[in-house]
Amino acid sequence: MENNSAAYWKATLGLLTKILIIWFLVSFGAGILFAPMLNSIHLGGYPLGFWFAQQGSIYVFVVLIFYYAKKMGELDERFDVHED
């Protein structure tokens, strides 16, 4: 049981790490760090860097929430810690 618990938490932390990296790249990266490069591209009449800072990051965050919920459900099933 102890080994199964360690594997579950390792998989959970791996998923969280991936999601947080995407979160950082979209919010801080695309909205601030890479904004000057992205601003040469326009989306709906607005520079892409501005769009990510104002709306794009929100869309990505909502998608990440649903992705996390789906993947955690799969992990719970795989390690038999799901709710019935």
Query: What is the structure's pLDDT at 1?
Result: 52
The reported pTM is 0.81
Kindly report the average pLDDT of the chain as a whole number.
Answer: 90
pLDDT at 9: 94
Identify any residues that bridge with 46 across adjacent strands, giving them in sequence order.
43
In this model, does residue 10 exceed pLDDT 80? yes
48 within 8 A of 42, measured Cβ to Cβ? yes
pLDDT digits 0-9 by tens, 35-60: 889 899 998 888 988 888 888 889 99
